[in-house]
Amino acid sequence: MDLLTLTLKDGTSLTGKAFGALKESEGETVFTTGMVGYPESLTDPSFKDQILVLSFPLIGNYGVPNEALDENKISRYFESNRIHLRGLIVSDYSEVYSHWNAGKSLGGWLREYDIPGISGIDTRALTQLLRDKGSQLGKIHPAGAKISNDFYDPNKENLVARVSTQKIERYGFEGDTVDKKKRVAILDTGMKLNILRSLLARGLKVTLFPWNANPFAPENEKFGPFDGVLFSNGPGDPENLPETVAIMKECFKRKIPTFGICLGNQIMGLAAGARTKKLKYGHRGQNQPCVETRTGRCFITSQNHGYIVDGELLPKEWEVSFVNANDGTVEGLRHKTLPFFSVQFHPEACPGPTDTAFLFDEFVKLL
């Protein structure tokens, strides 16, 4: 039996059975509380270069679907075209899987992308450690091997540049001979595909831009004009993205309807003049309660972020639209008079509840 060890920067070492690729790896160790949805989570670009701990004890029992494309030639079941993790830590990995749509095992899927996994770890104790001490840098390595004291910190890197599209792509233009559909630009900072699916399902034409490509630049005029702009989710520290923040500021100057999701919320906060800060251990899972400040309604949301907007520094022409019911942190922003708004959670879900999908409808109404 092959054994792998997870060593954290604080010196904690945990050894378990290897599944997936048998290799060394390192990244930021974080946890998620979701009970299901590992195919969607592992392909979420927001998990780029992280070692993910799944707190739910039984993992792998429903396998992984085979890749398939929908009518828009977008992945039907995954949130991007690959796994973005540096490693996966679980308690009980099920070698046997059963599901009508399963095409392979979780371990086999990890091996396809050369990602190591460790099972047999007390993930609830590990989650408690990460909750009490905060997310930590970590290394996966063969049991008993000596390792250096240097730990890779992905938050110092521009991870967005690694996960964003490298070229401009267009969706929803086929068959539209009368050209009545509204046009939306997406700044891809690590977009989950269900954001794109959600816009296409509402009859929009979508042009996907790299993270640092200005939709309003002269060389991109041929793709417009645009009725609105969406800034997607993505990994890492938002303060590493001054180019994207500058594009958001231009949206403000043009007063064009603008919607931000997750990292897009943080970029909106920075563009508005606020600051961002890192959470102790982040919000990751499908069961985060958020309260809408105007109505007092509480929604259960899907989340995956380690940074938030500091609401204390928000200019007076802006308001906090949602707050996290657990810790009171900012979960959404809205300009008081202009068509700019954002949320820290994921209204597109995948995985998780679709309770806040109505926010896409609100965006469409602004176009």
Query: Could you give the C-alpha distances from 233 to 84, 261, 306, 367, in angstroms and in order?
Result: 14, 5, 12, 21
Q: Please confirm, yes or no, whether 290 is among the known catalytic residues.
A: no
> What pTM was estimated for this model as a whole?
0.96
Name the strands in the sheet holding 298-309, side by side, starting at the edge strand that comes first in the sequence: 169-171, 205-210, 183-188, 228-231, 258-261, 340-343, 330-335, 318-324, 276-292, 298-309
Catalytic residue among 262, 290, 305, 335: 262
Percent share of the chain, pLDDT over 70: 99
* Structure tokens belonging to residue 305: 């972020």
Kindly state the average pLDDT of the residues 141-150: 93
Boundary (domain end) residue, out of 109, 131, 156:
156
Q: Verify that 221 and 106 share a domain, yes or no.
A: no
Confidence of residue 180 (pLDDT cuts 50, 70, 90): confident
Q: Return d(Cα 319, Cα 20) in angstroms, integer.
A: 45
Q: Verify that 52 and 175 share a domain, yes or no.
A: no
* Structure tokens belonging to residue 273: 């003049």
Containing structural domain, residue 93: 3-156
Q: Verify that 8 and 62 share a domain, yes or no.
A: yes
Q: Verify that 164 and 296 share a domain, yes or no.
A: yes
Q: Verify that 169 and 135 share a domain, yes or no.
A: no
Q: Please confirm, yes or no, whether 298 is among the known catalytic residues.
A: no
Q: Verify that 166 and 38 share a domain, yes or no.
A: no
Q: How crowded is residue 174: how many other Cβ atoms within 10 Å of its Cβ?
A: 10
Task: Estimate to the nearest angstrom the gap between the alpha carbon of 179 and the chain centroid.
Answer: 32
Q: Verify that 265 and 309 share a domain, yes or no.
A: yes
Span 195-218, pLDDT tens digits: 999 999 999 999 999 999 999 999
Catalytic residue among 26, 40, 79, 348: 348
Q: Return d(Cα 131, Cα 54) in angstroms, integer.
A: 13
Span 302-357, pLDDT tens digits: 999 999 999 898 999 999 999 999 999 999 999 999 999 999 999 999 999 999 99
Contact 320, 313 (CB under 8 A): no
Q: Return d(Cα 105, Cα 72) in angstroms, integer.
A: 27
Catalytic residue among 84, 305, 335, 346: 346
Question: For position 248, what pLDDT does the model report?
Answer: 98
Q: Verify that 302 and 166 share a domain, yes or no.
A: yes
Three-class secondary structure of residue 280 per DSSP: strand
* Structure tokens belonging to residue 255: 């007063």
Question: For position 81, what pLDDT does the model report?
Answer: 95
Span 57-105, pLDDT tens digits: 999 999 999 999 999 999 999 999 999 999 999 999 999 999 999 999 9
* Structure tokens belonging to residue 307: 């940074």
Boundary (domain end) residue, out of 156, 171, 187:
156
Boundary (domain end) residue, out of 133, 156, 179:
156
Q: Return d(Cα 214, Cα 116) in angstroms, integer.
A: 37
Question: Cα torsion at 204, 205, 211, 217 (round to 10°)?
Answer: -120
Q: Verify that 170 and 199 share a domain, yes or no.
A: yes
Q: Return d(Cα 115, Cα 113) in angstroms, integer.
A: 6
Kindly state the average pLDDT of the residues 250-273: 98
Q: Verify that 64 and 80 share a domain, yes or no.
A: yes
The CATH number for 241's domain is 3.40.50.880
Q: Please confirm, yes or no, whether 262 is among the known catalytic residues.
A: yes
Q: Verify that 207 and 96 share a domain, yes or no.
A: no
The CATH number for 130's domain is 3.50.30.20
Q: Return d(Cα 104, Cα 299) in angstroms, integer.
A: 34
* Structure tokens belonging to residue 106: 């979780």
How many domains, the chain? 2
Question: For position 179, what pLDDT does the model report?
Answer: 67
Q: Return d(Cα 10, Cα 66) in angstroms, integer.
A: 39
Percent share of the chain, pLDDT over 90: 95
Q: Verify that 116 and 137 share a domain, yes or no.
A: yes
Question: For position 208, what pLDDT does the model report?
Answer: 98
